Amino acid sequence: MNLTSENILLVGSLLLFLSIIAGKTSYRFGVPTLILFLGVGMLAGSDGILQIQFNNPKLAQFIGIISLNFILFSGGMETRWASVKPIIRQGVVLSTLGVLFTAVTLGFFVWYVTNHWFDLNFTLLESLLLGAIVSSTDAAAVFSILRSKSLGLKDNLRPTLEFESGSNDPMANVLTITFLTLVLLPDQNIWELVFMFFKQIILGGLLGFVFGKISHRIFNKINLSFEGLYPVLAIALMFGTFSATEALGGNGFLAIYVCAVYLGNQNFIHKGSVLKMFDGLAWLMQIVLFLTLGLLVEPSAIIPLAGIGLLISLFLMMFARPISVFISTMPFKMTFARRSYISWVGLRGAVPIVFATYPLLAGIEQASVIFNIVFFISVSSVLIQGTTLSVVAKWLGVATEETCENIDNPADALISEHPKAVMNEFLIAEGSHLINKKIFELDFPKDAIIAMIKRDDKYVTPNGSTIIQANDNLVILSENQKVFDAINKRLSLRLVEN
């Protein structure tokens, strides 16, 4: 079947619907959604039932880059700095040195087996390129399984894995570009590549932080007429951050993530609407990305490479990833069980498949072989590791059952989410100078937030444009009791005694 302007919407909507149903089913059987999304795409592809002819790596790469923008931005916005801060050094080391060690270790193994055990004859640079492509992890499938099993993790393992998976894609991207350049131009000055490497990482991080601050200021200063325009503004700022950083020579993926982490930990107008919108868009982009990659691959071309693909995948899971984790975390005090579980949660998802389109577009000799091996590695990694995460967590003793408490009072729920915070309620009395003012117009301390407003015996979730009314009870959270004295003095509020 050829996609035309007449049937593309029908086929697209059908594939989206099937992917959503498949994703729902995956929670019941413990199968990562990634596999089912890819499966739907492969079944609809050239070797599948619908036999859709899609052979456009350039379009697939473009869709992949757009999708990664949304996925990384959404993940960054949902990252809590309070939970990431204690493990920030471990996360940074894992997402940089850990990725580098994985790429190099796997690269040398690929070079050896393709020249001694299989008749593929990869050069060392081509082998290192393959290692770089699959060097980053993908936690999207990991946490869907953990949630379906109601499994918690001890010792700050969850934020460690979340931060690593969100921040290691840029490193893999830079390594992929570096080794691809060396494959195409073997005589390239190595110091120029080293300079480019550090330039991309440093500029990406710095510009991400700068654009995060700019985005925060724009959100709180601009006054849009409709709430629905604020998520659109966020999308514009997201793409602006990525493209401007890339134009200046930095890594756009890293900039996107840093910008989103900063923005997600600040208060701004209609933050709740933006978060919900991006959560839905991130899911949409994951489905579109996996479907596209499923359509692009030809199962008939992968089967002949199943032997070497499985061998490389097993080496990556059992040796390359553990070696990189244990070496890169040597400066930190960690239990053997913690290091072992981090090693096992090294799923390769859609990102390596997107990076594998780079050699295809560059036209290097082994491009199609690399793409098919990478696809096999991603699928086998998710199938083997993704379906055993809960079992391994319990076996290593790092699992803890999550308990769900029924909390009727939303204010109590806030305290349960922020155990270190102090909560107080302040009454807006009749005749107060704050009446009819918007929240963002208040001279409010930065280290406190208006989490809720109790109005007419109902709780209202406020945003920056919420208008204060007489007899409102402001539910305010802060980790410092002295802040409440400053609020009382600055805004002339009356504390509600509980």
At the fourth CATH level, the homologous superfamily of domain 410-495 is Regulator of K+ conductance, C-terminal domain (3.30.70.1450)
Among 72, 243, 103, CA closest to 176: 103
The answer to whether the CB of 132 falls within 8 A of the CB of 176 is yes
Instruction: Calculate the CA dihedral of residues 193, 199, 200, 205 and round it to 10 degrees.
Output: 160
Cα–Cα nearest to 357, from 67, 112, 142, 20: 67
| Predicted local distance difference test score (pLDDT) of residue 280 | 87
Q: Give CA–CA dist 47/66, Å, rounded.
A: 26
| Identity of the highest mean pLDDT range in 108-112, 161-165, 170-174, 295-299 | 108-112
- Burial (CB count <10 Å: 0-12, 13-18, 19+), residue 422: middle
pLDDT at 150: 58
Tokens of residue 294, six digits: 């499923």
The predicted pLDDT at position 263 comes to 92
> Under a CB-based contact definition with an 8 Å cutoff, are residues 210 and 165 in contact?
no
Q: What angle do CA 444, 447, 452 make, to 5 degrees?
A: 65
In whole angstroms, what is the distance from residue 41 CA to residue 67 CA? 16
Give the pLDDT confidence of 251-281 residue by residue, as tens digits. 999 999 999 999 988 878 788 788 889 988 9
Q: Measuring CA to CA, which residue among 345, 390, 338 is closest to residue 165?
A: 345
What is d(CA 433, CA 463) in angstroms, rounded to the nearest whole number?
A: 19
The predicted structure's pLDDT at residue 176: 94
- Per-residue tokens: 480: 């410092």
Decide: 327 and 100 in contact? Cβ < 8 Å: no
Range 294-316 average pLDDT: 91
Please write the tens of the pLDDT for every residue from 319-343.
Answer: 999 999 999 999 998 899 999 999 9
Q: In which element (H, E) is residue 312 found?
A: helix 306-315
Q: How confident is the model at residue 301 (pLDDT cuts 50, 70, 90)?
A: confident
Give percent above pLDDT 90 in the chain.
Answer: 35
pLDDT at 189: 84
454-465: buried (b, 16+ CB within 10 Å) or exposed (e) per residue?
A: bbeeebeebbbe
- Residue 30 CA to residue 153 CA, distance in Å, equals 17
Domain ranges across the chain: 56-286+312-401, 410-495
CATH of 56-286+312-401, one of 1.20.1530.20, 3.40.50.300, 3.40.50.2300, 1.10.10.60: 1.20.1530.20
Q: How confident is the model at residue 401 (pLDDT cuts 50, 70, 90)?
A: low
pLDDT of residue 357: 92
Length, in residues, of the chain:
498
Q: Which residues does 347 contact at the CB level (< 8 Å), separation at least 6?
A: 32, 137, 138, 139, 141, 142, 381, 382, 385, 386
Q: Which residue has the higher pLDDT, 219 or 162?
A: 219
Q: What CA–CA distance (Å, rounded) separates 486 from 444?
A: 9
Neighbouring C-alpha atoms within 13 Å toward the C-beta of 461: 8
pLDDT tens digits, one per residue of 348-368: 877 898 899 999 999 998 999
| Structure confidence by residue, pLDDT tens digits, 154-190 | 778 888 888 888 788 889 988 999 999 999 998 888 8
Reference 52, options 39, 65, 61, 43; nearest CA is 43
